[in-house]
Amino acid sequence: MLFFTWPFAAFFAVFYPVYLISRRSVLSRNLVFIVASYFFYGWWNVHFLALLAFTTSLDYLTALGAAGRLLDRRQLAKSCGFLLLVSGIGFALNGLRQPELLLLPPFAACVLFALATSLLNRVEATQKRARLWLQLSIVVNLAVLAFFKYVNFFGESLDQAFSALGVHLGFVALNIVLPLGISFHTFQSIGRTVDTYRGKLEPSTGFIEFAAFLSYFPQILAGPIERAGHMLPQFRTIPPITWALIRSGAMLFLWGLAKKIVVADNLAAMANPIFAHPDRFTSGELTVALLAFTFQIYCDFSGYTDMARGLAKIMGFDLRLNFNLPYFARTPSEFWRRWHISLSEWLRDYLYISLGGNRGSKLMMYRNLMLTMLLGGLWHGAAWTFVMWGFLHGAVQVVYRILGIDDRLKRVDDGSVRGLLANVGAWAVFMPIVCVTWAYFRAETMAQANQMLAGIARLESMASGAWSSLAFYVVPLFLIECGLRFAPLRGAYIRAPFVVRYTGVVALLFAVMVLTSPTGQDFIYFDF
CA–CA dist 286, 63 (Å, integer): 49
Contacts of 206 (CB under 8 A, 6+ apart): 236
Does position 513 interact with another protein (CB under 8 A)? The reply is: yes
Minimal distance, residue 510 CB to another protein, in Å: 5
507 is a contact residue toward another protein (CB under 8 A): yes
Query: What long-range pairs does 401-409 form, CB within 8 A, spacing at least 24?
Result: 401/333, 401/365, 401/366, 401/369, 402/366, 405/331, 406/331, 406/333, 406/334, 409/330, 409/331
DSSP state of 425: H
Instruction: Write b or e for each residue in 449-485: b if 16 or more Cβ atoms lie within 10 A of its Cβ, otherwise e.
Output: bebbbebbeeeeebeebeeeebeebbebbeebbeeee
For the CB of residue 464, give the shortest distance to another protein in the complex, in Å: 14
417 is an interface residue for another protein by CB under 8 A: no
Q: Is the peptide bond before 218 cis (omega within 30 degrees of 0)?
A: no
506 touching another protein, by CB under 8 A:
yes
CB of 413 to another protein, least distance (A): 38
Compute the distance between CA of residue 304 and CA of residue 308 in angstroms, rounded to an integer. 6
Look up residue 39 and give its amino acid.
Answer: F
Smallest distance, another protein to C-beta of residue 236, A: 42
Q: How many angstroms separate the CA atoms of 222 and 301, rounded?
A: 8
- Return the number of other C-beta atoms located less than 10 Å from residue 100's C-beta: 8
Contact residue for another protein among 43, 147, 486, 502 (CB under 8 A): 502
Should residue 325 be labelled a site residue for another protein when binding is judged by CB under 8 A?
no
Which of 5, 118, 135, 503 forms a contact with another protein (CB under 8 A)? 503
Of the residues 47, 185, 340, 380, which is catalytic?
A: 380
- Rounded to whole angstroms, how far apart are CA atoms 210 and 124? 27
Q: Answer yes or no whether residue 93 interacts with another protein by CB under 8 A.
A: no
**Residue 486 interacts with another protein (CB under 8 A)?**
no
Q: What is the rounded CA–CA span in Å between residue 305 and residue 525?
A: 11
Output the 3-class SS for 92-150: HHCCCCCHHHHCHHHHHHHHHHHHHHHHHHCCCCHHHHHHHHHHHHHHHHHHHHHHHHH
For the chain, the C-alpha Rg in angstroms (whole number) is 24
| Residue 511 near another protein by CB under 8 A | yes
d(C-alpha 459, C-alpha 478), whole Å: 26
Q: Could you say which DSSP state residue 348 is in? A: I
Among 43, 154, 486, 510, binds another protein (CB under 8 A): 510
CB of 514 to another protein, least distance (A): 5
Asked about 393 being catalytic, the answer comes back as no
Nearest CB to another protein, comparing residues 146 and 506: 506
Nearer to another protein by C-beta: 144 or 515? Answer: 515
Q: Is 496 in the site for another protein (CB under 8 A)?
A: no
Q: Is residue 118 packed enough to be buried (19+ CB in 10 Å), middle (13-18) or exposed (0-12)? A: exposed
Sign of CA dihedral 70, 72, 77, 82: negative
Query: HSE (CB half, 13 Å, CA atoms) of 319?
Result: 31
Q: Does 279 engage in binding with another protein (CB under 8 A)? A: no
Q: Does 466 bind another protein (CB under 8 A)?
A: no
CB of 248 to another protein, least distance (A): 21
Q: By CB under 8 A, which span of 101-109, 132-140, 230-238, 512-520 interacts with another protein? A: 512-520
Query: Interface with another protein by CB under 8 A: which range of 138-146, 230-238, 247-255, 513-521?
Result: 513-521
Nearer to another protein, 47 or 501 (CB): 501
Q: Is residue 10 near another protein by the rule CB under 8 A?
A: no
499 binds another protein (CB under 8 A): yes
Binding mask 215-254 toward another protein (x if CB under 8 A, else -) reads: ----------------------------------------
Please count the residues of this chain forming the interface with another protein, following the rule CB under 8 A.
11
- Spatial neighbors of 121 by CB under 8 A, at least 6 apart, are 70, 71, 129
Compare residues 8 and 528 and give the one whose CB is closer to another protein: 8
Contact status: 468 vs another protein (CB under 8 A): no
Smallest gap from residue 416 Cβ to another protein (A): 40
Q: Which of 515, 517, 521, 526 binds another protein (CB under 8 A)?
A: 515
CA distance 215 to 188: 10
463 scored as a contact of another protein (CB under 8 A):
no
Q: How far is the CB of 473 from another protein (least distance, A)?
A: 11
Contact call for residue 6 and another protein (CB under 8 A): no
Q: Which is nearer to another protein, 238 or 471 (CB)?
A: 471
Q: How far apart are CA 58 and CA 68, in angstroms?
A: 16
Q: Determine if 475 is a binding residue for another protein (CB under 8 A).
A: no
Q: Which is nearer to another protein, 248 or 517 (CB)?
A: 517
Secondary structure of 479-492 in HEC code, one letter for each residue: HHHHHHHCHHHHHH
- The angle at the Cα of 264, spanning 383 to 148, to the nearest 5 degrees, equals 30
Closest CA to 45 of 232, 176, 170, 241: 176
* Contact region with another protein (CB under 8 A), list: 95-103, 286-294, 409-417, 508-516: 508-516
Which of the stretches 165-173, 401-409, 480-488, 507-515 binds another protein when contact is defined by CB under 8 A? Answer: 507-515
In whole angstroms, the minimum distance from the beta carbon of 519 to another protein comes to 9
Catalytic residues, which ones? 380
State the residues that interact with another protein by CB under 8 A.
273, 499, 502-503, 506-507, 510-511, 513-515
